């Protein structure tokens, strides 16, 4: 016969007190029968068990006495029950006090009774919240620091013929920076407009800079070094970029090479050239990525270059920390209507570029549908390019720049969230749904 280590542990749930076995009151009770009834005087066989309630009734009537018919073992049982009763009462009082304080505003009693996994989950949630809130809070604190003085500092921007680069060059010039505006065509409309809008001031210098040409990059560096203002070289903005649309097999290898050269290697080439200057002046490097780095909707060729540049930046950002150089990534959503990045493409244009093998697989109707789909996305693009330029300016001038600036509509951010955090199968389901309007006949 095993001895039951019985206890009466009150657990408070919803303000009621329940009893559970605990080790606090040790009772020798026949385990096989359980405590069921109070034996009547002289009638109970040895080892017959009693209920706590029945004993309590007996003790109320005959305080200090042993229940009738008790054998020596019964006497021990009764004494044990008395101890257990006292323990129960004490615990119940303590728990009730806890519940009352919980009811009157304190949650101590409730938490004490909550299951451990729930508490751990809550703790984890709080930790996550803290982690999410920490970066913006830290930024908020650092924002109090003195803002940057642009006068006497130089910034080089690539791809200033049009779009964000063009707008940024004018904005930084207005703020007082010395701007080196790299243009693909320094004699073209964009470059001329830039000089006209800057009022011909000496602080905005247009230079020829094709980021795919090493000698252009070298020449740009020499020019910057020869005309460096008193506070030195502050920022490099890798903005130049190209875009197109088409299923993977539709585009020839040369197009892939060109995209890698402009969007990825062009930024790397320019960064490597200016890195010593940036380290020397503890400057900033800004890269133009895109939300398209997270997913692709018929423009995988563009996506891949943006995803690659994100990883290049991630490595660079960590490595440059020790030199005080900050690296920021701008991730615009769809701003196709505010720049020249991607004019609408006609189905005829796409079809005429397809190889005979591709034409044998796809038909004109399919290409037409894909073009319509892509062009409809472009037509939804935001027209306020200044939102993106605001982020670029913040990255260059804020005392606490962000590592990433996502400038996009809520639904674009939601898509990024799904693609970045959910399993690939979820991402594929969402994107397939978006593409499902287009059928291969
Ligand atoms: N607009 C958007 O919706 C959007 C969204 C996400 C990210 N972005 C990124 O933002 C950046 C700026 O694009 P944007 O929208 O302002 O388009 P954009 O108006 O076409 O500007 C891109 C600039 O890069 C220039 N460029 C092209 N190839 C070059 C080369 N090899 N070397 C130097 N410059 C070159 C272009 O010159 P030409 O005009 O002479 O070709 C143009 O001035 C790009 O990196 C783009 O990927 C744009």
Which residue has a Cα nearest atom 47 of ligand 1?
Answer: 241
Where do the structural domains in the chain lie, given as residue ranges? 11-113, 151-435
> Is pLDDT of 88 > 70?
no
Q: What share of the chain in percent tops pLDDT 90?
A: 61
Span 208-221, average pLDDT? 98
Pocket residue to mutate for ligand 1, from 261, 339, 407, 415, most atoms within 8 A of Cβ: 339
**Cβ of residue 122 lying under 6 Å from some atom of ligand 1:** no
Q: Which tokens belong to 321?
A: 């920390």
pTM over 0.85: no
Task: Say whether 366 is catalytic.
Answer: no
**Cβ of residue 163 lying under 6 Å from some atom of ligand 1:** yes
Q: State the CATH architecture for 151-435.
A: 3-Layer(aba) Sandwich (3.40)
Cα–Cα distance between 36 and 57 in angstroms, integer?
Answer: 14
Which residue has a Cα nearest atom 32 of ligand 1?
Answer: 210
Ligand 1 atom with the smallest distance to the CA of 261 is 31
Q: What is the pLDDT of residues 258-275, one digit of tens each?
A: 999 999 999 999 999 999
* Distance from the alpha carbon of residue 253 to the mean position of ligand 1, in angstroms: 21
**Cβ of residue 382 lying under 6 Å from some atom of ligand 1:** no
Q: Name the burial class of residue 143, with classes exposed (0-12), middle (13-18) and buried (19+) by CB atoms within 10 angstroms of its CB.
A: exposed
Please report the sign of the dihedral spanned by the C-alpha atoms of residue 214, residue 215, residue 217, residue 222: positive
Cα–Cα distance between 317 and 404 in angstroms, integer?
Answer: 11
Which residue has a Cα nearest atom 10 of ligand 1?
Answer: 288
Pocket residue to mutate for ligand 1, from 164, 238, 289, most atoms within 8 A of Cβ: 164
Greatest CA span in the chain, whole angstroms? 119
The β-bridge partners of 178 are: 154
**Cβ of residue 283 lying under 6 Å from some atom of ligand 1:** no
> Which residues, in sequence order, are CB contacts of 129 under 8 Å at separation 6+?
none
**Cβ of residue 328 lying under 6 Å from some atom of ligand 1:** no
pLDDT at 45: 44
Cα–Cα distance between 234 and 150 in angstroms, integer?
Answer: 9
> Is pLDDT of 20 > 60?
no
Q: What is the pLDDT of residues 91-111, one digit of tens each?
A: 655 654 554 444 444 445 566
**Cβ of residue 287 lying under 6 Å from some atom of ligand 1:** no
Q: Which has the minimum average pLDDT: 11-20, 57-66, 72-81, 198-207?
A: 11-20
> Is pLDDT of 391 > 90?
yes
Q: Which one of the listed residues 256, 281, 294, 302 is annotated catalytic? A: 302
Please report the sign of the dihedral spanned by the C-alpha atoms of residue 359, residue 440, residue 307, residue 241: positive
Half-sphere exposure of 280 (CA within 13 A, CB side): 11
Cα–Cα distance between 377 and 381 in angstroms, integer?
Answer: 7
**Cβ of residue 185 lying under 6 Å from some atom of ligand 1:** yes
* Distance from the alpha carbon of residue 240 to the mean position of ligand 1, in angstroms: 5
């Amino acid at each position: 016969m095993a001895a039951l280590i019985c206890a009466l542990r009150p657990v408070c749930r919803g303000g009621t007190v329940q009893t559970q076995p605990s080790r606090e009151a040790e009772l020798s009770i026949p385990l096989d029968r359980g405590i069921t009834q109070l034996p009547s005087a002289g009638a109970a066989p040895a080892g017959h068990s009693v209920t706590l309630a029945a004993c309590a009734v007996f003790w109320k009537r005959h305080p200090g006495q042993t229940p009738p018919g008790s054998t020596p073992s019964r006497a021990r049982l009764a004494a044990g029950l008395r101890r257990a009763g006292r323990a129960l009462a004490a615990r119940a009082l303590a728990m009730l006090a806890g519940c009352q304080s919980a009811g009157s505003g304190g949650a101590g009693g409730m938490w004490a009774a909550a299951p451990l996994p729930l508490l751990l989950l809550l703790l984890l949630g709080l930790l996550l919240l803290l982690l999410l809130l920490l970066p913006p809070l830290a930024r908020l604190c650092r924002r109090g620091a003195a803002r940057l003085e642009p006068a006497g500092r130089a910034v080089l921007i690539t791809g200033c013929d049009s779009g964000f680069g063009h707008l940024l060059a004018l904005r930084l010039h207005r703020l007082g920076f010395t701007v080196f505006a790299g243009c693909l065509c320094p004699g073209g409309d964009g470059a001329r407009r830039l000089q006209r809008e800057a009022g011909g001031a000496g602080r905005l210098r247009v230079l020829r800079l094709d980021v795919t040409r090493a000698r252009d990059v070298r020449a740009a560096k020499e020019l910057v070094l020869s005309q460096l203002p008193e506070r030195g070289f502050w920022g490099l903005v890798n903005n130049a970029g190209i875009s197109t649309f088409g299923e993977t097999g539709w585009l020839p290898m040369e197009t892939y090479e060109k995209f890698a050269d402009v969007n990825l290697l062009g930024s790397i080439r320019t960064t490597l050239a200016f890195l010593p200057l940036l380290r020397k002046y503890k400057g900033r490097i800004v890269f133009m990525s895109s939300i398209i780095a997270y997913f692709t909707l018929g423009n995988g060729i563009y996506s891949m270059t943006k995803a690659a540049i994100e990883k290049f930046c991630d490595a660079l950002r960590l490595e440059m920390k020790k030199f005080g150089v900050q690296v920021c990534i701008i991730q615009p959503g769809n701003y196709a209507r505010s720049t020249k990045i991607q004019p609408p493409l006609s189905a005829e244009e796409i079809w005429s570029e397809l190889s005979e093998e591709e034409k044998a697989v796809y038909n004109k109707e399919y290409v037409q549908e894909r073009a319509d789909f892509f062009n409809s996305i472009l037509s939804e693009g935001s027209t306020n390019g200044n939102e993106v330029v605001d982020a670029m300016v913040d990255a260059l001038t804020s005392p606490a720049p962000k590592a990433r600036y996502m400038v996009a509509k809520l639904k674009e951010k939601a898509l990024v969230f799904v693609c970045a955090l959910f399993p690939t199968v979820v991402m594929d389901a969402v994107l397939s749904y978006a593409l499902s309007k287009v059928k291969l006949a």
